[in-house]
Amino acid sequence: MRKFLLSTVAVGLSVTPALAEVSDGKVKIGILNDQSGVYADFGGKSSYQAALMAVEDFGGKVLDAPIEVVTADHQNKADIASNIARQWYDTEQVDSIMELTTSSVGLAVQALSLEKKKITINTGAATTELTGAQCSPYGFHWAYDTHMLAVGTGGALVKAGGDSWFFLTADYAFGYSLEEQTSNLVKAQGGTVVGAVRHPLATTDFSSFLLQAQSSGAKVIGLANAGMDTQNAIKQASEFGITQGGQKLAALLFTLAEVHGLGLDAAQGLNLTESFYWNRDEPSRKFAERFKERAGVMPNMVHAGTYSAVTQYLKAIEAAGTDETEAVAAKLHEMPVDDVFAQGGKVGANGRLIKDVYLMEVKKPDEVTEDWDYYRIVATIPGAEAFADPAESGCLLVK
């Protein structure tokens, strides 16, 4: 009997270690973003589909434990997002939260996650504060940031002669960060910033703001906003004859989803920067076609970035042999990122994914030969140039 019991214990130990290393017997990921407001097309429910697709492609399990994905709409409000995140962590066994469109939301949830020792991978917000002064050992920034947008779109327009700027800025953390980053770049290249005006999030009337921009005489009007705000600003700028008068519009955060929503007649000729384009190469195209079958749209950098973030998180759990936060965070910092979104990517000590990005020009309507093929790639910007050096980011985690 003694030999039998010892044998039974030994067998039990040999078959259960994997599940014992996964908290609550499952890995649960939350996709928290705007699903009904100005950024609903930017990320929204399509990011949730990207996460589900990543889980399915991974096989639905990690360390023999099932993977679940939940989602919620934070309505672009930091307090609502924090309440949802707290409930997910405290009562619903969510292990990691991702996407997090809107910089104020991203900062709030990352701060809560630091308190709770949970991992966030931000693919939807832009502010460099996430990997700067407010960085976290458990916080990662994946798809893009304001430094990348300033270097790409802002840098291209200054080099093309757009050396005087006026900013039309969304009145919250993202807008401030994007205006600051682009202003610094313009000035560093010998340009000037002649003024700025800030508008409420989700405003529908840009007339007074655009008139101020028009009367400034600046060669470039920098739209430091995103989503429907940018679309509405561009439409109304056309009605005021701003571009016809010789001023250029710089859509500093504009993605494929917004180009599609705005239409090529209004968007043609715009320069913009994305970290993913579905028709860049054959692997990107194959991924995008599968994504479109389930989401109904071609992926932008937020959608593809969410797919990559979920995949890399699951790879990190597998490599660590556990979903324990410290071990997984260490693997996320250590492992290279090689997938359809990032080739040869690496994660800095501040949590910033560093990868190549692309300066685009929106095609004219008569140049488009197939649906959604709206971009011409003007330049590839190396990751080391597109993103700030972690040592200069202001993150106290960087030694």
pLDDT digits (tens, 9 = 90+) for 281-321: 999 999 999 999 999 999 999 999 999 999 999 999 999 99
State the Cα–Cα distance between residues 113 and 109, nearest whole angstrom: 6
Report, as an integer, the average pLDDT of 134-144: 98
State the Cα–Cα distance between residues 29 and 93, nearest whole angstrom: 9
pLDDT digits (tens, 9 = 90+) for 331-371: 999 999 999 999 999 999 999 999 999 999 999 999 999 99
The pLDDT score that the predictor gives to residue 10 is: 40
Instruction: Assign 3-state DSSP to the chain and report helix, strand, coil percentages, each to 5.
Output: 45, 20, 35
Report, as an integer, the average pLDDT of 38-43: 97
The pLDDT score that the predictor gives to residue 399 is: 86
CATH class entry, domain 147-274+358-386: alpha beta
Report, as an integer, the average pLDDT of 56-63: 98
pLDDT at 5 over 90: no
pLDDT at 13 over 80: no
pLDDT digits (tens, 9 = 90+) for 263-277: 999 999 899 999 999
pLDDT at 46 over 80: yes
Same fold, 25-144+280-355 and 147-274+358-386: yes
Which residue type occupies 36?
Answer: S
> In the chain, where are the structural domains located?
25-144+280-355, 147-274+358-386
* CATH placement of domain 25-144+280-355: 3.40.50.2300
pLDDT at 6 over 80: no
Average per-residue pLDDT in the chain? Answer: 94
The pLDDT score that the predictor gives to residue 3 is: 44
Q: Residue 12: which pLDDT band, with cuts at 50, 70 and 90?
A: very low
What is the full DSSP assignment across 258-313? HHHHH-HHHHTT-EEEES--TTSSHHHHHHHHHHHHHHSS---HHHHHHHHHHHHH
pLDDT at 9 over 60: no
pLDDT digits (tens, 9 = 90+) for 171-214: 999 999 999 999 999 999 999 999 999 999 999 999 999 999 99
pTM of the model: 0.93
Counting every residue, how long is the chain? Answer: 399
State the Cα–Cα distance between residues 30 and 234, nearest whole angstrom: 33
